[in-house]
Chain A
Amino acid sequence: MNDSLQLDTAERAAIDVRDVTKTYDLGDVKVEALRGVTFTIARGEYVAIMGPSGSGKSTLMNLLGCLDRPTTGHYFLDGTDVSTLGDDALAHIRLKKLGFVFQGFNLLARTSAMKNVALPLFYAGVGTKARNGMAATQLREVGLGDRMDHKPSELSGGQQQRVAIARALVNDPAVVLADEPTGNLDSQTSEEIMGLFHQLNEGGRTIIMVTHDEDVAGHAKRIIRVRDGRIVDDQATGRG
């Protein structure tokens, strides 16, 4: 098989992971966090990655988020092989193609919702005016059109996570990665956030969510289960 053929198949999927391993060298011991993982996620999919702690799901999430590189194997994100890129090139990929939603929201305190959402655009070199306009549009889309000047401390947990989601979407990413997005929220707010993800997915967004909560994972259309660094199960939930 030659490389150009590989790329052809890679171009079809949002995410194409091929025989990826990740080994952490801790001096005396080598920890194999991923022992050969292969899967593809097409554009517009809504996938939950599940697994107990220590299963390698966090490692997989970091690799998918271009925060880390695989030890061996290839990872094509939106058609680009990112498995061997340098730090700054990876930063550029994260800026252009990925949106992150975290368990702890990770909003900048003392900074308005609008400025938080506009932050990725700042690094993308978008001018202040255009930045604020795009951030405002995105905030309206997540239902926070009337909270733009509020600081995180003035918002509820659900509203903060909505701001974080708006921030993940503002650069129009190929993939939205959510790491336990409802971990810090009560069940009713969780449902609201899940509703928002569903709505985004209906609009065509590719969403990958890491969770250990079966109920939350049940909102996705497909669940990939990881255990001991391997994929042990990968099937549709029947939703959607």
Chain B
Amino acid sequence: MRISQYWTEALSVLAANRTRTLLTAIGLIIGVMAVISIQVLGVGMSGAITGVLSALNDRTFFVLPNQQQTDFTRAAIKLSDLQRAKNEVPNVVDAIPAGGQTLRARYGHRTRRVTLGAQADELYSATTPLRYGRKLTPDDIQQARHVAVLSDKAAEKLAITSDPTGTSIRVGEHRYTIVGVLNKSTEGIIPGPQSVEVGIPYTTYEREYARGRLIVFARVLMADPALVTKTEADMQAWLSKVKGGRVEYQTFDRKTIAKGIDGVFGVVTFIVALIGAISLLVAGIGILNIMLVSVAERTREIGLRKAIGATRFQVLLQFFIEALALSAFGCLVGMVLGIAIGAAVNDLLIVKLSGIVAPIPWLRSIVIATGFATIVTVVFGTYPAWRAATLDPIEALRYE
């Protein structure tokens, strides 16, 4: 009595009932596929975020009134306050108004509404590549030059297809010389300063747009980004003191946001994988059901097998291996599809968007998915096999 013969027997039974086999296996296929691909995507996504974060040399954080403030006018920050912060808060190099204004821009014969915002040289991280020209320089800032760096979106809006550096663009009341055009950021999955379509030196911005206006949302530049936590606290306390302790402020930096997103992805991955596991459980019940049907249908056959001398264990083994073979088929197909989908989405979406190739734990994902599927099959496949094994041969042979 060799086990391989039971496998041959089981496979021929499954092959003889192709439609039923396929329909029963679909549950397993979907379950295994989902568990593998979701894990791969979760890890890929999380790896991409971590990768982008480590490549990020972000020396800025945002400050704004605490969201519980009811009166934003009173909480608003004056430009002069921001300028004073440079000297009075340690580690703060500069503080500039954040956000932007939507203005009409004219380039050549084309007129479009764009977002104009204040930028500093440090704000463009290494992950934002240039298409043409250069980024803003410390010199631009110091001199408050009338220069602008366009985002890829602005270039698209204004139909700029060839190198525009040196030409001029009119935004609102002012003219700026275009010094550079940015490429699409690979930080696409992390919110950044990319909402600004036309970036001008913040010194220029302050002089032309922010003077005498109330600022609610500010960006702070630090000398040493490692001290971000302390600097954020200092900045909050300082602003609160300036406002006579009547207003509270909050800060956030992109790393905190990214960490939050990463955490959310972890939870989402876990929950979706859990749903996949539940679908595997349901698939197991499907196997239980179809194996019970199979045992009922083949009652006479079981009776015959017992009459000609099959022991209870041999009959049990036969039906158990049949369930296992069904499960192995489902696992195999689900595995191939899961890997294919996981790899495709990871390569075509995550890696393309982030530029980061995260190490994917293929083996772990596969072992978790197929392992769980196998446990489910063993649990649900045993009962029908036991039912078959304990049939009374006399009754079974009489069964119509």
Q: What residues make up the interface of A, taking CB atoms closer than 8 Å to B?
A: 62, 65, 67-68, 87-88, 91-92, 94-96, 98, 100, 102, 104, 106, 108, 110, 119-120, 122-125, 127-128, 167, 171
Residues of B within 8 A of A167 (CB): 308
Please give the distance in Å from A100's CB to the nearest CB on chain B.
5
**Are A91 and B310 in contact (CB-based, < 8 A)?**
yes
**Are A95 and B16 in contact (CB-based, < 8 A)?**
no
In the complex, whether B153 has a CB less than 8 A from a CB of chain A is no
Q: Can you list the 9 inter-chain pairs with the closest CB atoms, starting with the nearest? A: A95-B309, A125-B1, A94-B309, A106-B304, A91-B311, A120-B308, A88-B311, A123-B310, A110-B16
- 24 A-B contacts (beta carbon < 8 Å): A68-B394, A87-B311, A87-B312, A88-B313, A91-B311, A91-B312, A92-B311, A94-B306, A94-B308, A95-B308, A95-B309, A95-B310, A98-B309, A100-B307, A104-B300, A106-B300, A106-B397, A110-B16, A119-B308, A120-B308, A120-B309, A123-B310, A125-B2, A171-B309
Residues of A within 8 A of B305 (CB): 119, 123
**Are A67 and B393 in contact (CB-based, < 8 A)?**
yes
Residues of B within 8 A of A104 (CB): 300
- B1-23 contacts to A (CB < 8 Å): 1-2, 5, 9, 16
Return the chain B residue nearest A111 by Cβ. B12
**Are B309 and A124 in contact (CB-based, < 8 A)?**
yes
Given the complex of chains A and B, what is the CA–CA distance between A91 and B312 in angstroms? 8
In the complex, whether B253 has a CB less than 8 A from a CB of chain A is no
In the complex, whether B240 has a CB less than 8 A from a CB of chain A is no
Given the complex of chains A and B, what is the CA–CA distance between A108 and B309 in angstroms? 15
Residues of A within 8 A of B314 (CB): 123
Residues of B within 8 A of A65 (CB): 307
Interface size on B, residues (CB 8 A): 22
Given the complex of chains A and B, what is the CA–CA distance between A171 and B309 in angstroms? 10
Residues of B within 8 A of A95 (CB): 308-310
Please give the distance in Å from A237's CB to the nearest CB on chain B.
28
Most chain A CB inside 10 Å of its own CB: which residue of B2, B300, B307: B307
Return the chain A residue nearest B389 by Cβ. A87
* Among candidates B9, B301, B311, B394, residue contacting A67 with C-beta atoms closer than 8 Å: B394
Given the complex of chains A and B, what is the CA–CA distance between A222 and B310 in angstroms? 31
* Among candidates A91, A96, A110, residue contacting B306 with C-beta atoms closer than 8 Å: A91
Residues of A within 8 A of B301 (CB): 106, 108
**Are B1 and A102 in contact (CB-based, < 8 A)?**
no
* Among candidates A87, A88, A100, A127, residue contacting B308 with C-beta atoms closer than 8 Å: A100
Please give the distance in Å from A214's CB to the nearest CB on chain B.
25
**Are A128 and B394 in contact (CB-based, < 8 A)?**
no
**Are A88 and B397 in contact (CB-based, < 8 A)?**
no
Return the chain B residue nearest A62 by Cβ. B394
Please give the distance in Å from B21's CB to the nearest CB on chain A.
14
Please give the distance in Å from A15's CB to the nearest CB on chain B.
17
Residues of A within 8 A of B312 (CB): 87-88, 91
Residues of B within 8 A of A125 (CB): 1-2
Given the complex of chains A and B, what is the CA–CA distance between A233 and B39 in angstroms? 77
* Among candidates A96, A110, A127, A128, residue contacting B309 with C-beta atoms closer than 8 Å: A96
Q: Is the interface of B mostly helix, strand, loop or mixed?
A: helix
Given the complex of chains A and B, what is the CA–CA distance between A92 and B306 in angstroms? 10
Q: What mask results when residues 174 to 194 of chain B are scored 1 for a CB within 8 Å of chain A, else 0?
A: 000000000000000000000
**Are A92 and B309 in contact (CB-based, < 8 A)?**
yes
Task: Identify 10 new A-B residue pairs, CB closer than 8 A, beyond the known A104-B300, A110-B16, A123-B308.
Answer: A65-B307, A87-B311, A87-B312, A88-B311, A88-B312, A91-B310, A92-B309, A92-B311, A94-B308, A123-B314
Please give the distance in Å from A147's CB to the nearest CB on chain B.
20
Please give the distance in Å from B235's CB to the nearest CB on chain A.
80
Residues of B within 8 A of A124 (CB): 309
Please give the distance in Å from B392's CB to the nearest CB on chain A.
8
Residues of B within 8 A of A119 (CB): 305, 308
**Are A123 and B309 in contact (CB-based, < 8 A)?**
yes
- B292-349 contacts to A (CB < 8 Å): 300-301, 303-314
* Among candidates A67, A88, A96, A128, residue contacting B307 with C-beta atoms closer than 8 Å: A67
Return the chain B residue nearest A122 by Cβ. B5
**Are B5 and A128 in contact (CB-based, < 8 A)?**
yes
Residues of A within 8 A of B9 (CB): 122
**Are A102 and B306 in contact (CB-based, < 8 A)?**
no
Given the complex of chains A and B, what is the CA–CA distance between A96 and B308 in angstroms? 9
Given the complex of chains A and B, what is the CA–CA distance between A65 and B394 in angstroms? 10
Residues of B within 8 A of A100 (CB): 307-308
Residues of A within 8 A of B304 (CB): 102, 106, 108
Residues of A within 8 A of B300 (CB): 104, 106
Residues of A within 8 A of B313 (CB): 88
Please give the distance in Å from A34's CB to the nearest CB on chain B.
14
Q: What mask results when residues 49 to 92 of chain B are scored 1 for a CB within 8 Å of chain A, else 0?
A: 00000000000000000000000000000000000000000000
Given the complex of chains A and B, what is the CA–CA distance between A167 and B278 in angstroms? 46
* Among candidates B5, B310, B311, B397, residue contacting A102 with C-beta atoms closer than 8 Å: B397
Given the complex of chains A and B, what is the CA–CA distance between A68 and B397 in angstroms? 13
Return the chain B residue nearest A125 by Cβ. B1
Return the chain B residue nearest A58 by Cβ. B394
Given the complex of chains A and B, what is the CA–CA distance between A123 and B304 in angstroms? 12
Residues of B within 8 A of A128 (CB): 5
Given the complex of chains A and B, what is the CA–CA distance between A102 and B399 in angstroms? 13
Return the chain A residue nearest B393 by Cβ. A67
- B257-310 contacts to A (CB < 8 Å): 300-301, 303-310
Given the complex of chains A and B, what is the CA–CA distance between A119 and B397 in angstroms? 16
Given the complex of chains A and B, what is the CA–CA distance between A100 and B310 in angstroms? 13
Given the complex of chains A and B, what is the CA–CA distance between A62 and B307 in angstroms? 10
Given the complex of chains A and B, what is the CA–CA distance between A100 and B397 in angstroms? 12
Given the complex of chains A and B, what is the CA–CA distance between A94 and B304 in angstroms? 11
Please give the distance in Å from B335's CB to the nearest CB on chain A.
29
Please give the distance in Å from A180's CB to the nearest CB on chain B.
12
Please give the distance in Å from B303's CB to the nearest CB on chain A.
8
